[in-house]
Amino acid sequence: MTTSRGPWALAGVVAGYAGLATSYCVASLATAHGSAVVAVADLVIRETPGPAAEQAIQLFRHHDKTALVIGVLVILTALFAWAGVLARRGWAGPLVVYGVLALVGVVAVATQRGESPVEYVALAVGLLTWIGALALMTGPLRSPAPVAASEPAPGSTRRGFLLRVGAVAVVAVAVGAAGRAVGASRRQVEQARRLLRLPGITKPEPPAGSSVGVPGMPPWETPNDEFYRIDTAIVVPAVEPDGWRLRIHGLVDREVELSYQDLVDQQDTEAWVTICCVSNEVGGDLIGNAWWGGVRIAELLRRAGVQGGADAVLQTSADGWTCGTPLAVLTDDRDAMLAIAMNGEPLPIEHGFPVRTIVPGLYGYVSACKWVVDLEVTRFSEISAYWTERGWSELGPVKMSSRIDVPRDGGDVAASGGRVAGVAWAQHTGIAGVEVSVDEGDWQPAELARVPSADTWVQWAATIDVEPGDHTVRVRATDEDGLVQTGESQDVVPDGATGWHSVRFTATG
Ligand SMILES: Nc1nc2c(c(=O)[nH]1)N[C@H]1C(S)=C(S)[C@@H](COP(=O)(O)O)O[C@H]1N2
Ligand SMILES: [Mo]
């Protein structure tokens, strides 16, 4: 074993940076955030007590964040070197050092807004790289005490070590550069998005009375960074608004091509619309309600002149995902739109920037195409789309459903005058009533909060009086057509789940 610490420290530092490079590459491939180091710097900014942070910011002027990132890197370098030196005596020492670093990374990622699971994957990849690289480089330093006959010259050990260090460093730099190149296009789009102004868009406050005001209820308006996200994109498409074009073609009299600016200029509709996923289980949370703004598709199709015989529109996104939407729902009075705004801001990148489709009353997989670039007017008999090719139903009208949010399963409710509450939805038909039943007893009506239209979810609440102890409460809705939500359980495949949501709770008091 080499007694000198130098090579071990060097190996530790190179391995550490190799780990940072791969984790950075994974993170920038899949998310809008750059790297764990920046997340840690952000964490430091958030957690530094006010006056100290101000002092630091004064000290570094507007370079505060750069300085912080450099500070984090200096500390990391020292820790990497230390871990390398500890590796002389086995793996326990370096693993503890990295475990602590990974923990800080996890906390930093978890506490930033809108984190994505990919960032944890990135941290794990970084950890594995670091261990692998350290093992690889220190191999020659660990070679067993030489036996007299085959004793390698000390020079060859050093050469082997330096070769490996060099190789790891080169690969790490290449991986880091690749991550940077991929991340650059997204950062550019992120920047373009930040600079956009949408003068026609004015988001109102949620309508008065739309909230039942029961503690623990999710907000009626779902904030963008809490909105559920479902798509097949591992790498989120980076689409510049300037380069964006949408073609409407197929069974039309004249093709229509639109730029992003055309949509901004022609913006003619804004509305509260609740969208949900066909994969939402009974009681699930793959549903959200936002204020969307954009251009009515019916108007665009009228301009294109739809020919007889067409009954579908095949939508295609920038990354090749497709969905087939009934022509009827795009041309009736429900104001299906090419949306450019979500809750008063340009669409977030993960929610389809620069343009997506929103159709009240249909599940997302047959309608809500994100990063949409092509609308082909066609016939269902002539197309197939991403999810229909995988066994999901061709048509996907939203099924009426209701959910209990308060109490959570296993929660507590006051035995006397306790409040239960939740949401119900039947987009584009509307909810006429909600009822709850305790312990399979009679259905009792719940109060409904107000809604601006039939296209959003509605909050409901009910007061229950029960004996202290364990109980079950379930919920069902009735829509504006008088249809009562079925209690028959069906799985999400092929066209959406059915059944009543029920939760167990303990009545206290
Ligand atoms: N391009 C693209 N658009 C897509 C999808 C997708 O995978 N790719 N998924 C759809 C599905 S299944 C749903 S439920 C909604 C979800 O939209 P959100 O992520 O903005 O909530 O987007 C739809 N649009
Ligand atoms: Mo979905």
CATH for 449: 2.60.40.650
| Three-state DSSP string of 188-250 | HHHHHHHHCCCCCCCCCCCCCCCCCCCCCCCCCCCCHHHCCCCCCCCCCCCCCCCCCEEEEEE
> In this model, does residue 64 exceed pLDDT 60?
no
Q: Ligand 1: does its nearest atom lie under 6 Å from the Cβ of 353?
A: no
Dump pLDDT digits (tens) for 14-32.
998 898 888 888 877 765 4
Residues 442 and 337 in one domain: no
How much distance in Å is there from the Cα of 195 to the middle of ligand 2?
30
User: In which band, very low, low, confident or very high, does the pLDDT at 156 lie, cut at 50, 70 and 90?
Assistant: confident
Residues 345 and 477 in one domain: no
Interior/surface letters 96-108, b for 16+ CB within 10 angstroms, e for the rest: ebbeebbebbbeb
Which residue, 188, 198, 190, is CA-closest to 339? 198
Strand partners, 341: 293, 346
Nearest CA to ligand 1 atom 12: 365
Q: Ligand 1: does its nearest atom lie under 6 Å from the Cβ of 358?
A: no
Task: Tell me the C-alpha distance between 97 and 457, whole Å.
Answer: 49
> In this model, does residue 445 exceed pLDDT 80?
yes
> Minimum-distance ligand to the CA of 373?
1
Residue range 62-72: average pLDDT?
A: 67
Residues 453 and 384 in one domain: no
pLDDT of residue 401: 98
pLDDT of residue 367: 98
In-domain check, residue 105:
yes
CA angle 485, 486, 487 (to 5 degrees): 120
Query: Token match 């570094």: residue?
Result: 60
CA angle 147, 151, 156 (to 5 degrees): 145
Strand partners, 362: 397
pLDDT of residue 116: 65
Q: Ligand 1: does its nearest atom lie under 6 Å from the Cβ of 292?
A: no
Strand partners, 350: none
Residues 386 and 409 in one domain: no
> Minimum-distance ligand to the CA of 493?
2
Contacts of 2 (CB under 8 A, 6+ apart): 8, 88, 141, 157
Task: Tell me the C-alpha distance between 141 and 486, whole Å.
Answer: 70
Q: What percent of the chain has pLDDT over 70?
A: 88
Question: Which of 133-142, 147-156, 403-412 is predicted with the least confidence, judged by mean pLDDT?
Answer: 147-156
User: In which band, very low, low, confident or very high, does the pLDDT at 144 lie, cut at 50, 70 and 90?
Assistant: low
Dump pLDDT digits (tens) for 285-313.
999 999 999 999 999 999 999 999 999 99
Interior/surface letters 224-242, b for 16+ CB within 10 angstroms, e for the rest: beebbeebebeebbbbebe
Respond yes or no on whether the N-terminal peptide bond of residue 215 is cis (omega within 30° of 0): no
> In this model, does residue 47 exceed pLDDT 70?
no
Residue range 224-249: average pLDDT?
A: 90
Which residue, 327, 325, 319, 294, is CA-closest to 370? 319
- DSSP output for 328-363: HHHHSTT--EEEEEETTEEPPGGGTTT-EEE-TTB-
Residue range 134-162: average pLDDT?
A: 71
Residues 296 and 428 in one domain: no
CA–centroid distance for 345 within its chain: 17
pLDDT of residue 28: 74
How much distance in Å is there from the Cα of 36 to the middle of ligand 2?
30
pLDDT of residue 71: 80
pLDDT of residue 363: 98
> In this model, does residue 236 exceed pLDDT 90?
no
Residues 146 and 230 in one domain: no
Residues 338 and 452 in one domain: no
How much distance in Å is there from the Cα of 95 to the middle of ligand 1?
40
Element (H, E) at 371: none
Residue where a domain terminates, one of 168, 183, 198:
183
In-domain check, residue 113:
yes
Domain that holds residue 138: 5-183
Highest mean pLDDT out of 104-118, 164-178, 442-456: 442-456
User: In which band, very low, low, confident or very high, does the pLDDT at 175 lie, cut at 50, 70 and 90?
Assistant: confident
Q: What percent of the chain has pLDDT over 90?
A: 64
> In this model, does residue 69 exceed pLDDT 70?
yes
pLDDT of residue 477: 98
Residues 279 and 321 in one domain: yes
Task: Tell me the C-alpha distance between 462 and 434, whole Å.
Answer: 9
Residues 327 and 456 in one domain: no
pLDDT of residue 148: 45
Residues 346 and 254 in one domain: yes
Residue range 467-471: average pLDDT?
A: 97
Task: Tell me the C-alpha distance between 40 and 56, whole Å.
Answer: 16
How much distance in Å is there from the Cα of 157 to the middle of ligand 2?
57
| Residue 480, CA atoms < 13 Å, CB-side half-sphere | 11
In-domain check, residue 202:
no
CB-CB contact of 113 with 98 (8 Å): no
Task: Tell me the C-alpha distance between 439 and 504, whole Å.
Answer: 9
In-domain check, residue 161:
yes
Residues 134 and 88 in one domain: yes
> In this model, does residue 197 exceed pLDDT 50?
yes
- Higher-scoring residue by pLDDT: 352, 54: 352
Residues 382 and 241 in one domain: yes
CATH number for position 357? 3.90.420.10
Coil, strand or helix: which one is 108? helix
pLDDT of residue 400: 98
Q: Ligand 1: does its nearest atom lie under 6 Å from the Cβ of 230?
A: yes
Which pairing describes strands 501-508 and 411-414: parallel, antiparallel, or unpaired?
Answer: parallel
In-domain check, residue 418:
yes
Residue range 95-112: average pLDDT?
A: 80
> In this model, does residue 4 exceed pLDDT 80?
yes
Dump pLDDT digits (tens) for 478-493.
999 999 999 999 999 9
Residue range 191-210: average pLDDT?
A: 94
In-domain check, residue 200:
no
pLDDT of residue 62: 45
Coil, strand or helix: which one is 76? helix
How much distance in Å is there from the Cα of 336 to the middle of ligand 2?
17
> For the chain, what is the mean pLDDT?
89
> Minimum-distance ligand to the CA of 292?
1
In-domain check, residue 212:
no
Structural domain count of the chain = 3
Nearest CA to ligand 1 atom 19: 229
> Minimum-distance ligand to the CA of 318?
1
pLDDT of residue 91: 86
In-domain check, residue 334:
yes
Closest approach atom of ligand 1 to CA 231: 7
